[in-house]
């Protein structure tokens, strides 16, 4: 009986409804900030990552040097 009264308590409703939305809003704000403020930096990092992956793939699979 106590658990059912807890579920109808306003604080429990707040925790069940508002907390997930606050995490969603925080994630969206972080994503938008990264997209608009750090686009050039992240693009450079992503290109360096792609170049590194391509070099590893090229050196190990296409033209192995130790054979």
pLDDT value for 64: 67
* 34 found inside a domain: yes
* 32 found inside a domain: yes
| pLDDT tens per residue across all 67 residues of the chain | 445 555 566 777 766 776 677 788 888 888 877 777 666 777 778 888 888 888 887 777 777 665 4
* 67 found inside a domain: no
Cβ count within 10 A of residue 15: 11
Domain count across the chain: 1
Q: What is the pTM of this model?
A: 0.34
d(CA 60, CA 66): 9
Its domain, for residue 30, covers 2-62
């Amino acid at each position: 009986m106590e658990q059912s009264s807890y579920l109808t308590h306003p604080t429990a409703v707040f925790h069940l409804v508002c907390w997930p939305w606050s995490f969603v809003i925080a994630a969206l704000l972080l994503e938008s900030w990264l997209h608009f403020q750090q686009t050039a930096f992240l693009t450079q990092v992503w290109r360096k990552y792609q170049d590194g992956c391509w070099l590893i793939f090229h050196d190990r699979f296409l033209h192995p040097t130790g054979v």
